[in-house]
Amino acid sequence: MRFTQEQIDQAKQVPVERIAKSVGYTVVKKGRYFSLEEMDSLMINTRKNLWWRYSNGTHGNSIDFLIEFANYSFQQAVKECLEVANIDISFQQNEIKNYRKDHDDHPSRTMKLPKRSDRFQRLYAYLMKKRKLSSNTIQFFIRKQLLYEEEKHHNIVFLGRDKEGKIQYAGVHGTLELNGKKAFRGDVEGNNKSYGVNLRNEKSTKLVVLEAVIDLMSYFEIQNRTKGSCEENLLALGMLADLPLETFLKENPQIREIIFALDHDEKGQEATEKLIKKYQQRGFEVCKYHYPEQYKDINDYLKLGFQGRKIPLTRGRL
């Protein structure tokens, strides 16, 4: 798939902050600039439409942002930028100029995982006391090698693996919530954002899609308490874009039904409606879980509304 120079130039002009939002990042204002809630060392200059990440010296335009932080190929990045801007894409096969040829074969970055702690005390304390997950659920995910406590800061590291069991994604979640502020969250540098944390069951044709890993664990907990087991495939996007879902479906062709259980906030529900239409058109049986609307997400429901009562989530088809 190749693009004309004009198309490439149009893609570079799409605002970086719009591109960041399109792949699930939270854009926040910082004085004259914008930054990301998940990566506060990154600054976006809207006047120049460029970004800088001061922690490692990387910088670039909208295309570069997707290559660097969403693990897109150059072609995927250009296509995403044009689609975000609602620019008609017509792929021309004649005389085509390439933009920065080195991007076509963009080398994969090595992901260096934080060192594992010998003790998981802070991990258990946070997930049990703050998130109301049971020790059985936590132990299950540890045995599956989907999370651990890192040694230096005692953050939780969540791991997303591909079908062969290789780690493709790693996200960090703090275990301290001070002065009412949310716990630290971020991605390990070099991870592949086309994967999310997941639980696979090749015998099941159902897939439940959630936003955050802790919501995924909460769903698993509720299903075990109400039904005695959780047999369906589970996937945490880690954002509102569906790149991890696309990857999971490619690796698990047995999936026939997709069940969305995203957050109840405005962005989560907007994403739900778009994703439902998209995957219905692709022939999947699609529905969403209707947990009580007063709770922001499934972990909130577990903490504040469920409290161990034998009340399953109700599923409503669209």
Q: Is the pLDDT of residue 210 over 70?
A: yes
The model's pTM is 0.68
Report the distance separating Cα 1 and Cα 7, nearest Å: 12
Q: What is the pLDDT of residue 204?
A: 96
- Are 102 and 96 within 8 A, CB to CB? no
Tens digit of each residue's pLDDT (9 = 90 or more) over 61-87: 999 998 888 778 888 889 889 888 887
Residue 6 CB neighbour total at 10 angstroms: 10
Letter for the amino acid at 241?
A: A
Q: Domain 121-317, CATH 3.40.50.720 — does that match?
A: no
Tens digit of each residue's pLDDT (9 = 90 or more) over 225-244: 888 999 999 999 988 889 89
- Output the DSSP codes for 158-210: EEEE-TTS-EEEEEEE-S---TTPPPPEEE-TT--TT---EE--TT--EEEEE
Q: Is the pLDDT of residue 89 over 60?
A: yes
User: Terminal CA-to-CA distance of the chain, rounded, Å?
Assistant: 35
What average pLDDT does the segment 46-52 reach? 92
The candidate with the shortest Cα–Cα distance to 215, out of 191, 198, 190, 194, is: 198
Radius of gyration of the chain (CA): 20
- Are 298 and 219 within 8 A, CB to CB? yes
CA distances from 111 to 142, 145, 166, 193 (A): 20, 17, 12, 12
Q: Return the domain boundaries, the chain.
A: 5-93, 121-317
With b meaning 16 or more CB within 10 Å and e meaning fewer, what string describes 123-146? Answer: bbebbeeebbbbeebbebbeeeeb
Tens digit of each residue's pLDDT (9 = 90 or more) over 108-145: 557 889 999 998 999 999 999 999 999 999 999 999 99
Q: What is the pLDDT of residue 307?
A: 62
Strand partners, 208: 234, 259
Ranges 55-59, 73-77, 150-154, 177-181: which has the least confidence: 177-181
Report the distance separating Cα 117 and Cα 154, nearest Å: 7
For residue 49, what are its two tokens?
């439409």
Report the distance separating Cα 159 and Cα 195, nearest Å: 10
Report the distance separating Cα 222 and Cα 107, nearest Å: 41
Residues in the chain: 318
Q: Is the pLDDT of residue 1 over 70?
A: no
The candidate with the shortest Cα–Cα distance to 213, out of 236, 191, 193, 181, is: 236
Report the distance separating Cα 189 and Cα 302, nearest Å: 31
Report the distance separating Cα 103 and Cα 309, nearest Å: 53
Consecutive H or E run containing 24: none
Name the CATH topology of 5-93. DNA Primase; Chain A (3.90.580)
Q: Is the pLDDT of residue 201 over 70?
A: yes
**Higher pLDDT residue, 309 or 206?**
206
The candidate with the shortest Cα–Cα distance to 317, out of 285, 293, 278, 291, is: 285
Report the distance separating Cα 280 and Cα 261, nearest Å: 16
Q: Is the pLDDT of residue 106 over 70?
A: no
For residue 70, what are its two tokens?
């969403």
**Higher pLDDT residue, 282 or 101?**
282
For residue 180, what are its two tokens?
């009412």
**Mean of pLDDT over the chain:** 85
Q: What is the pLDDT of residue 179?
A: 60
